[in-house]
Every structure is written in structure tokens, then in C-alpha cells.
Structure 1
Amino acid sequence: MNKRRQTGTAAIAATIAMTMLAACGTAKSGSEQPSGTPGTSTAGNGGPKKEISVSMFDRGTVPTEEGTYENNRWTKWINEHAPVNVKWVPVARNQAQPKLNALIASGEAPDLIWEYDRNYISQLANQGAIQPIGDYIEKYSTTYKAYLDKHPELKSYLNFGGKVYAVSFARETVANHGMWIRQDWLDKLGLKTPTTVEELIEVARKFKDGDPDGNGKADTVPIALSANASSIYRALYFTNEGQWYVEGGKLQYGRLLDRYGDSLAFQKQLFDEGLIDKEYITDTNFQRSTQLLTTGKAGIYFGGWDMEALNGNLVKNESNAKMVPLESVSTKYGKNGLYQEAPPSIFTAFNSKMKEDQIKAAIQFIDWMLKDGWETLKYGEENVHYKMVDGVQQKIDADKNKKELAYAFEYPIVMDSVLKPELFPAMAAKDEISQNYAKLKGKSLELALKNKYRRDIPFNPDFPELTQLIATFNPIAQQIEAKVVTGGKAMTPEDGMAELRKEWKRLGGDNVEKLAQEWYEKNKSGMK
């Protein structure tokens, strides 16, 4: 996952607003109180199972021989074992919110809708597309209710306007982003592991000019990028384009801070000196950057803390390559952690058109998934995909799991799992490549959590004026920043920041900042 930021969730909010009365005409009022009508019988009492529908992300990873996201070995397993029958509704990952918005507007949205983006769930609550569920959880849940009591850190995230509108679960780890570096290149060129941004730039220069791949050509691009790269530039300077920060008691938007300009200057320096790929702007899916990394033409990677597949491909191409995790480097502001997620994982909301018997069935499904379902969907079947060794699920065949199991992680809408680095080697397949990487993976997770990531408030303001402003402002900001980074002397970072602030103000930023401060004063007591 990469960062979970404000993502323009209101791109077609107007469409939903105009059609919501027609599409959600049966929506409940703002009360959370269930009517008390018991749900219809389920498999648990001998009657027929009810059916619920659940959204999911289509990432295009289901092999043809396995079936489809709607129909495969795991959907069949779920319907065989769960107390309900589930109809899965895939939406393309990169178009998830527009697709869900369209389904809601047409009255065809699934019963359960989930997203990583809390602001999107807030938008749906404000528009009446989803309904409060706090009293239903209290009435019908056992397992999830107990789980929530053990994880009170989740509760403030599930409240919208004083009512519970979603279920979620604690992430296996809040670690997300990470940096990696070729240790064999450092050794060959007699370089030390960089600990500051200045040392990182100097190492990148040596990787560019020192022929670390030994082919006698100046053909290396020191730093390979991923979708996480932009956030890594920002995190080093204690800012993020989508977060708000408390500066002197006032909320300020991260994209407008002075230190955000410093992050642009760093990014521009990397581009101007050829330390990142000059074609990164058009490499929107990062295929070119991935190829540079896995074919041994890049020595530093701005990506995620776990790069198992990429490392495997690199080692296949260059058996002597040794990619190792790199701790976040310090700047003049100190050392910040790279991007770390807030505690909740996905947010699952209940369609406002659901009746109480459907809600009861959905909560029974959530309880079953949390108690009995998620482990099989994560680890597969015993003696088929793993074997138990010293109380740990150890992979039997990494390639088999990649084909038959990797896509199954889309189905557990709740789970109770914590990643433990010391267990990675025991869980990995026993071939040398898998074992070597498992040790690196554990070290990478430790480094990703070593430095706390700055997050002044647990979640961002979510009022409509802000959502509308961000949807308009972000594309303009991206154009300005691209001109700063790639435009040579045409626009300095200082000029770029002046333009960003000018556009923000033109679009109503002063009023939004005033509303954001009011929101903060109203909500800060509950932000723990």
C-alpha cells in the first residue's frame, strides 16, 4: 500500500450528491439504534445462509488458472465455511473510489464497502451513502466487539460526527516505506553507508560516476524510484503533501510549509544531477525504474520496506547483488521516520440501504472472519501451502504460494495479526534466496520502525470545503512541482512555493484554514 493520503475523494462527489436521494431512498435516519427485529435464520441455526456483497480491490493478480476475483478456490472456501454466502464486487485499485461512487449513485453498491482512505468513508457518511453501526455491533457482535475493546486506539478513527460508521482492525505493522542500497556497490567503491542527506547525495554521485557494475560504461542511474518516492522526499524533511501539522498551536497544511520547499529542492538536485531517472515523470507505472533496479543499473531504491519480489528478480539477474535496507537519513531538521501508517488498516462501511437482518448477517461474517477465516486466507492450507514448524507457518513452496495464495489477501476484511521480524526466517521457504531475504526483511522492518514518523494529528480534517479545495488544488500543485523539479532554472523551489501558496489562497485556502482550525479545536480532545 502505499501512502494513504487525501486523494481527491470528491472527484465525482457532485454526481453522488445529485443522485443520492434516488439511489439511497431507503437510507436510515441518523440514529444508530437498531429496530430490534431479529435477522433471518442462518447456517448457525439450520436455516439457509443469507447472502451479502462485499467490495474488494482488483489488482489484476489472479492467475487465469485460478479463476477470477469473484470465483476461485478462496471464494469457494469462504462460502463453504462462513455463516453467510459472500458475493465479491471487484473494483480496479487505481479507480476504486470513482467506481464505488458510480455504483452508489446508481443504487448498485455492495452491502459492505471498504477503503484504506478514512476521508473517503467520511465523505460517504456525510452524503448518507453509509449508515451508523455502533449499536448493531453492540447488539450482534461477540468477537469483533471484544477485539475492539483490546484495541482502543482504533475507536477514534471509527467515529464520524459522534457515531461509529465503520469497522477496522490494527495493521500488522504501521511500517510502509523504506530505502534500500547495494552493499556490494558500497564495498566495491570503498564507501560508507550514508546517514545524512548530504552523504546520500555523495554516495549517489559515486554510484553514477564510479562504474559500480564494472562494465566500463557510465550507464548507471543511482536511485530507482517507486510510487513511494515522493513521500520519501517529503518525509526526510518532516512533511507530507497531504497531512496537516500543528505549528504553534495552529493547523498548517504540509504542502505549504517552508520545509516542503526544502524537499522540492532535494528532489530537484537529484534530477538536475542525473541521480534519478530523467524520464521519471512519464514512467507513471514505474516499470522503467523497476527494470533499472532489477537489471543491476541502480544502487539505491526508494520504495517499500519489503521488496521481496524485486530482490528475487535482481538476484536472478545478478547473483552477487546484495541489496540491504537503509535507515532514514537525517536532514537539517533531524531524522524523521519514513512514512508510517496510522493504526487502522482498511475501513469497512455498511451501505445505508441494508436492512437489519442483512446487517446482522454482515456482523456475523466479520466475527467469523476475525475468529476463524483470516489465517487460512493469509497462510493457505496446512501441508499444502505451509507446514507448522515450532508453532510457525513455514512456506513449503514459494512459487506455489505466489500463484495460489498471493491474491487471497484481498478477502480478509478483518484480521488479528502482528508481524514479528524474528519469525520471518522460520516462515520463509528453505531455499537460500528466500532465507537470505527473510533475514534482510526482518532488519528492514526494524529500521522502518526505528524512527518515529511525524504525525501531529491522527487523521486529517474532513469537511466538504476542504475536500473540494484539495480536489482542485492537487493537480495544479503537481504541475507547479513538476516544473520546479524538471524545468531547470525556469522555476526555483522558492518560486514554486510562492506559486503553491498563491494558488491555495486563490482557491479559498484562507477560509479552509480557518475551518480547519475550528475543526481542530473541536476535535483535538479526542485525538489520542
Structure 2
Amino acid sequence: MNNSKKILGTSLVAAVALGALLAGCSEKKEAAAPGNAQGNAPAKKGNVTVSMYDRGSVPAAEGSYEDNRWTKWINQNGPANATFVPVLRSDSTKKFNVLFASGSAPDIINEYNTPFRGGLYDQKQLLPLDDILKFMPEYQKLLTQYPQLKKAGTKADGKLYEIGKVKEATPAHMLLIRTDWLKKLNLQMPTTTDELLAVAKAFTEQDPDGNGKKDTYGMNMSTYSEQAINEIFGEGSSSTLLAWGIKDGKVIRQWDNELASLTFKKKLYDDGIIDKDYINDKDGAKAKQDFLNGKIGIYVKFTGGWYDFVMNDMPTLKKNVPGADIAPLAYPKSPMGTFTGAIDNPVQMTTVINAKAKDPEAVGRYLDFMMKPETATKIINGDEGTHWKKSPNGCPTPIDATKSKNEVSYALDYEMFFSSGIDKCNYVLNQFNPEVPEQKAGMDMYRQVQKLYFDPSREYPGITVGDHMPVYDADLNVINTQILKEKNDLFVKAIISGSKYTPEQAIKDSQAAWDKAGGKKLEDFMNKWYQDNKDKAFLAKDVMAVVKQQMELVK
């Protein structure tokens, strides 16, 4: 979840998917220098400064992030003279702090870090957008189509400060199960957590791969997959987020849910269902390799990169285990309820405006120009006929992958606030060619994933996605960090210590640590935030509303 923050990738597939807007419509128009919002004669160009992430991906032949074919095109065709300020992606907030302290921060701040943007608001470093929206008709249209953007971008004073983008809603995690193993062991798809545990144990102990060795795991668990187990029990905690829920109109710590998920994880460990060395598989790389080698029966997968999974991982599994068959498995019913699983943030806030911006009108006009679908298509995909052509489904496909990688892919972050999720050409399903049987199978499986993980009859695990949780001030953040560390250490101890240290004791000790660190202050803050913002904040119901809206688009 949190942040479950998904940063724009630089893979070619991602570039093509993001740039698909306008595909299947009329021929693209070359974006020209626009007039004002009312369509009158072009206004005199103002000057703006714009941050962008430096990912070190601009080839020497293309120039630099400050000066390349796309910055030239933007300045030649756009309504403002833009100066680009690269900020190292791995050290962005530190660099921004230096720039603000020196009075040299750019007008437009593109930054994914939610607490950092929240801190800028608290320090009164941001310009409200209300007065410049009249120069941003593209964003005004988006706010009308997706009012959740306004919810997410509005601060405590009731004014709009943050610009965001709509992305395709995707499940954060999913379960995949070896159906060939189910058939071999004469087992049914598990529908409850007790059944899940029984099936996983059978996969571990009954030699489902038939090699006469006890060398299979029923399930996997690492940083990401552990979050999936939490979600099954209705709590969205992670290494950076406590388990918060709503009960009787109040925010509570979900101690009962955490006890249930912790008890389940300990059972997985004690029974040898997961790798005993799971704690060192933080990114899930070993679990993935075990799955591809045919050694895991129920695979908890982070859902990012479904196209890559179908095109690369599935063929690898089939090559290693020709008889392997998999199917998506819905989260089973737990004693705490039946849940959807977390949704990767579909409304991601990206951009704020420096309160000291000298020409707010130029800022608004620049952003409006960059948000135009024809501009975004140009920057993200390159030139039609040179870098891309229309595929059979009407969506852009690269002509020469290497050329597009070298000349186009590095430019994605100039459009990091562009809403790729408003057009179905950008969606996972449209990456596939249904005429190719393997790709058709991947499409069909993902449709099944959507059906299972977007089921509106299920509850959402937690209050909202991590990016939209309230931001703590410095003092509360210290308390939160201390509580998280102690809680995470105690929970690991409970999982791996056998009968010497039980989940019940871990919860009791976590509660004591919570009290000692001042956890009540966090709870009071969360409740005040919820009471003040429950009708205004971007909550779980808003996440599912976006899901519903997008599913209508792809019917």
C-alpha cells in the first residue's frame, strides 16, 4: 500500500500504456501554442520553473533533463517558457528542502512523497489552486469527471492545493493457486482461511510435484505478501503503516484483526508451509524464483507488471513445469470477514505550486498545455510514424523498441501528473493481443482477477489507501515510527519463536509499547482527522467508486 507508492516506470510497455490516450479516435493534431482559457488570441508567454525527477536515464546523444528534444518541443509549442530543474529521484525531498531554504525552489513541484507535500502545506509554502484553475480547463474537466481528485487535493482550510492524476485501479496483491496440484491431491479451491491453511499444508506435505521429495512450499511470505495476509484478515498494516479501522464511527487500532493475522502467519511458519528463511526475502525475489521453479502452491503476487508476468514469468513456469496450471484465488473468508484486498492508489497526488511563484497564470497555462491529451501523447509516445503506430485495437504500439527507449522513454516524468486512467487504451487488458493464444489467456485471467478482487460485496481492508492517510506532524511521526518498529520486531519474534512467545503475548507487549510511546496521541489525532474529514477525505468508498467507474469503461 504505502505506501504502496508506485512510481512511473521507464519500461517501454509502461511508456506505451501511459501514452495511449487518443488512440482509436481521429488523427492526432500537432499541439500548437494555445490561446487563453476562453480561446482568444495567444497570451504573451510567461516564465515558469518546473521540477522533474532525475533518474539518470537521458542518453548522452539526447542531451540532459534540462535540454533535450522534448524540452525544446514543449517550449516551442507551449504557452510558457519553461526551465526544468532536475531533482535526483533517490534524494528528492532533501534536495527540495535545500531549494526551499535558499529561496530557489521551482514554481511547480512534482513530488510523489505525500508527507513531504503535507509538510509544505503546514509551512505555508504552497499556493492554493483555486485562483489559477480558470487557466486550467483540462484539469477542471478532470475534477468534474473524477470529483475524488478534489477530495484528495483539498487541505484543512478547504482550499485545493494538490494536483493529482487518475490511474487504472489495480489490486495491490493477488493469490495465484496451482490448480494442477489441486486436481492431483483431489482438493477444492479454498474459500475460508481454515481451508486455505489445510490446502497449503497439503501442498507442503503430500508431494504435489511427484518427485518423491519434501521440497515444496504451500505458500510464500515476504514484505509484500505479508501485507496480503493482513488484508485477508481485514487490516491494512505494513512496515510503515499501523492497522487502523473504523468501528461505531470512531477510528480504532485493529488489535483483534492483527492478532488473527499474526496467528495465521505463525501457523504457516510452525507447520513449514512457508520458507523458514522468509524474513530475509524482503523483496520476494526468492519466493518468485521458487514459484517459477514449480515449488510454491499458493503464490502471493504483487500485481504490478501483469503483462510482464504473462509474457515472461508464465512461459518460464511452463518451461520448468510443463504441466503447471494456475488460476487466481479470491481472498478467503476469515473470522474477521471477507475482504477485497487493497487497491493500488488510483488517485495519486503528484504536484503542488510554490507560494512564491512569480507568474501563477503562466503556471496554470503551462499545466493545462501539458495535460492536453495530444501533448501527453506526444511526450509519452513520441512521434506517430516515427516512434509508434496504431495496433489492431487502435492503441499505440512502438515501431522500434530500441529507438523508443533511447528517444522517448526518459521523458515520462515531464508528464507525471497526466491521468492515464481516463482512457481504456492505457489499461492492462489493452497491452495484450487477443489474436495470440497465450496473450488471450493472460487477458482472460486478468478479467477473472478483476472480478474477484473488485467484488463490491466485499469489505475494503482499512480506512483508505496509504497515500491518502492523514500526515502526522514531526512529534507524532516520532511516536508512530517508534511504535511501528517495536510492533514489527515483536510480531516477527512471535512468528519464529515457537511456543516460547505467542501471538497473544506479542499483542499484549505491543499494547504496552503503544501506551508507553504515547499511542493515545496518535489515536486522538486520527479521530479528530476522521470526524473533521469523513465527508471530505478520500476514503475506501472513494477508492471503490473509481474502480466501479473504470470497470464501466472497459465493459
Q: 1:523 to 1:483 in 2, by over 3 A?
A: same
User: Equivalents in 2 of 1:214, 1:403: separation in Å?
Assistant: 47
Distance in 2 (CA, whole Å) between partners of 1:235 and 1:489 is 25
**What are the ranges of 5 or more consecutive residues in structure 1 without an aligned counterpart?**
7-38
Letter in 2 for 1:295: N
**Counterpart pick for 2:480 among 470, 479, 494:** 470
Counterpart Cα distance in 2 of 1:141 and 1:121? 21
Q: Which residue does the alignment assign to 1:308?
A: 307
2:247 matches 1:247:
yes
Residues 1:515 and 1:380: Cα distance change in structure 2 (over 3 Å) = same
User: Does 2:453 correspond to 1:453?
Assistant: no
Structure 1 residues 180-329: aligned runs within 5 Å = 180-225=176-221, 227-241=223-237, 242=241, 244-254=244-254, 257-306=255-304, 307-311=306-310, 312-319=312-319, 320=322, 321-329=324-332
Contact 2:219 / 2:297 at 8 angstroms: preserved in 1? yes
Per the TM alignment, residue 166 of structure 1 is displaced from its structure 2 partner at its CA by 0.7
* 1:259-284 deviation line (CA, Å, top 9, x unaligned): 11111111122222222222222222
Secondary structure (helix, strand or coil) at the match of 2:347 reads coil
Counterparts of 1:269 and 1:197, CA distance in 2: 12
What is the match of residue 19 of structure 2?
A: none
Between stretches 475-484 and 443-452, larger displacement belongs to 443-452
| Distance across 2 between alignment mates of 1:422 and 1:360 | 31
Q: Which amino acid aligns with 1:302?
A: V
Whole-angstrom distance in 1 between the partners of 2:396 and 2:247? 46
SS in 1 for 2:534: helix
Q: Shift in Å at residue 335 of structure 1?
A: 0.7
Match of 2:514 in 1: 504
Aligned to 1:148: 143
When structure 1 is superposed on structure 2, of 64-73 and 449-458 the one drifting more is 64-73
Amino acid at match of 1:444: V
Specify whether residues 141 and 423 from structure 1 end up closer, same or farther in structure 2 by C-alpha distance, changes over 3 A only: closer
**Contact persistence 1:174–1:341 (CA under 8 A):** yes
1:436 aligned residue: 441
Q: 1:309 to 1:246 in 2, by over 3 A?
A: same
Letter of the 1:151 partner, please give it.
Y
Q: Provide the rounded CA distance (Å) in 1 between the counterparts of 2:220 and 2:340.
A: 20
Q: Whole-Å Cα distance in 1 between the matches of residues 450 and 124 of structure 2?
A: 40
CA 204–521 in structure 1, closer or farther in 2 if over 3 Å, else same: same
The change in CA–CA distance for 1:346 and 1:501 in structure 2 (over 3 A counts) is same
Candidates 53, 58, 66, aligned match of 1:56: 53
Output the amino acid matched with 1:3.
N
Give the CA deviation at 1:62: 7.8
Structure 2 Cα separation of the partners of residues 340 and 210 of structure 1: 34
Q: Following the alignment from structure 2 to structure 1, what is the Cα–Cα distance between the partners of residues 391 and 114?
A: 37
Higher mean alpha-carbon deviation, 153-162 vs 405-414, is at: 405-414
Q: Secondary structure at the match of 1:290?
A: helix
Q: Distance in 1 between matches of 2:187 and 2:69?
A: 50
Of 502-511 and 398-407, more deviation after overlay is shown by 398-407
> What letter is aligned with 1:56?
Y
Cα distance in structure 2, aligned partners of 1:396 and 1:438: 23
Contact 1:111–1:354 (Cα < 8 Å) also in 2: yes
- Given the alignment of the two structures, is residue 414 of structure 1 paired with residue 418 of structure 2, yes or no? yes
Q: 1:160 aligns with which of 143, 155, 158?
A: 155
CA offsets 1:135-171 (integer angstroms, 9 cap, x no match): 2224x21111222122222222211122221111333
2:29 aligned partner: none
The aligned residue for residue 545 of structure 2 is none
Distance 2:483 2:164 in 1: 30
Instruction: Assess, with a 3 A threshold, how the Cα gap between structure 1 residues 342 and 46 changes in structure 2: closer, same or farther.
Output: closer
Cα contact 2:388–2:398 (8 A) shared by 1: yes
Structure 2 residue aligned with 1:36 = none
Of residues 167, 171, 175, the one that matches 1:175 is 171
CA distance in 2, matches of 1:66, 1:293: 40
Q: CA deviation at 1:125?
A: 0.8
Provide the C-alpha distance between the structure 1 equivalents of 2:213 and 2:172, rounded to a whole number of angstroms: 35
Specify the alignment match of 1:366 in structure 2.
367
Q: 1:98 to 1:309 in 2, by over 3 A?
A: farther
Aligned to 1:9: none
Aligned residue for 1:128, secondary structure, equals: coil
**RCO comparison, higher one (Cα < 8 Å, 6+):** 2
- The 1:370/1:404 distance shift into structure 2, 3 A limit, reads same
Structure 2 gap segments, 5+ residues each: 6-35, 539-555
* 1:436-474, Cα deviation, whole Å (9 max, x unpaired): 322222322332212442444684343424333213322
Alignment partners' CA distance in 2, 1:425 and 1:260: 35
- 1:348 CA displacement: 1.2
- One-letter code aligned to 2:147: P
Within 1, Cα distance between the matches of 2:270 and 2:61? 47
Aligned residue pairs: how many?
Answer: 484
**Is the Cα contact below 8 Å between 1:293 and 1:314 reproduced in 2?**
no
The alpha-carbon distance between structure 1 residues 424 and 128, as it changes in their structure 2 partners (threshold 3 A), is closer
